[in-house]
A and B are shown apart, each in its own frame.
Chain A
């Protein structure tokens, strides 16, 4: 991990609306795809598949140079790796040293990375730094733009790691995951991460030490629902323009935290009761800290994890969860049992904001007016794991 630097918290910049074309980086169960739009975000060109047959969990363009692209990938049988491109996805090269846990001493059982699940570019002041979260839960850091990766021992070797993460049986069906690595835009040493399961954790020293940050968040599947850790955040987002504001879509509802208060407040209870406040993704507005989008799913009984009633809809709040608005104009009205994974909904930085999501049945939906109207821009892709937007214009 990078050396801790003494930094004063600065007000983040970059709140100006973007313009021009947008790229969508689509990670699927069978490879990656790159969509690029025209300047109006109406027409889309599709490039791919990239690494057809690889399970791509996450693809990101480095916003600091707009050229470096990383893809977290494995196949059903080959081990996990990271592929890198430095020419916007035209040519790819495998990381020289992918994320891997240290070899355990003789006679001891060591951890094995099953897949790299999450990628996050580092702070703008650390241009070659990237972080990766894995399954099982491990944090890794690259100082050379994703070519070589080292374990962040402050987390991976933390004396509480096993307690925080539980056993391998405590995670999602395809493995417990570390995700939602958020870097404070004012301070490269200040980080958050989420674990399914485990909860939300914070570090203020560039990953050397960590502590749970789950007060106020319920874990109703545990004997003690008000436990300090063991929660199941599905997606945690720090607001880029108001970095003390955090939102999370949790297994147990939608929450918001003002970090100065240090306590999560459930804001999903204002969602319609028939829809509930369970889901996977959480998307924040690039400029307005009060506006977020979620994609509710059926979290009742055996948890179908499909759109409630077979009627998919995005919900948006513009006042930090006091009221929610259903946004389904253009989406199927009935018999659409859609699932959107935690990395598969995103927003661009335009005004009005473009919002995008990909489904497990391979559809990509786009709205260039903040969710007011939806258009399907691709069908018949493989099962979509992640959709990330990247600005290509000004």
Chain B
């Protein structure tokens, strides 16, 4: 399925803004993403498997919080990061 990567994480994907990654849940998708782009998961997800405070994951436009959220092959995943701060 399509996964859209925010600009702060493009250094991991070789500047690819959109990547195709499989997985039947968000957790599996993130694991696959991390296999392909080592280190990317921990920048988004902490060691207690919580989405970090300024990161957001949307599935087909709906925000999800639970990494066990099921996915379908046709889903579009947007990973977003807040740009707030100074």
Contact = CB atoms under 8 A, between A and B. Distances in A.
Contacts of A77: 8, 52-55, 81-82, 85
A333 B81 CA distance: 44
A102 B47 contact: yes
A384 interface: no
Interface string B61-86: 00000000000000000000110110
Nearest to A112: B46
Interface residues of A, number: 20
Nearest to A98: B42
A77 B48 CA distance: 17
Nearest to A97: B42
A113 interface: yes
B8 A113 contact: no
Nearest to A99: B47
Contact of B47 (A75, A94, A103): A103
The secondary structure that dominates the A interface is: loop
The secondary structure that dominates the B interface is: loop
A107 to B, nearest CB: 12
Interface in A89-107: 94-96, 98, 100-104
Contacts of A112: 46-48, 50
A78 B43 contact: yes
Contacts, number: 55
A78 B44 contact: yes
Nearest to A51: B11
Contacts of B55: 77
- For chain B, the bracket of interface size reads 20 to 34
Interface in B35-60: 38-39, 42-50, 52-55
Given A76-B54, A76-B85, A96 B38 contact: yes
Contacts of B9: 78
A110 interface: yes
A79 B43 contact: yes
A78 B8 contact: yes
A300 B43 CA distance: 39
Contacts of B43: 78-79, 81
Nearest to B82: A77
Interface in B14-48: 38-39, 42-48
Contact of A103 (B38, B49, B52): B49
* Residue of A76, A95, A109 most packed against chain B (CB within 10 A): A76
B85 A100 contact: no
B27 to A, nearest CB: 13
Contact of A110 (B44, B47, B84): B47
A79 B49 contact: no
Contacts of B45: 79
Nearest to A113: B47
Interface string A290-328: 000000000000000000000000000000000000000
A104 B49 CA distance: 10
A79 B44 contact: yes
Contacts of A110: 47-48
Contacts of A104: 48
A109 to B, nearest CB: 8
Contact of B81 (A78, A101, A102): A78
A277 to B, nearest CB: 33
A94 B39 contact: yes
A79 B84 CA distance: 15
Contacts of A96: 38-39
21 contacts: A76-B54, A76-B85, A77-B53, A77-B82, A78-B43, A78-B81, A79-B44, A79-B45, A79-B46, A81-B39, A81-B42, A98-B42, A100-B46, A103-B47, A103-B49, A111-B47, A112-B46, A112-B47, A112-B50, A113-B46, A113-B47
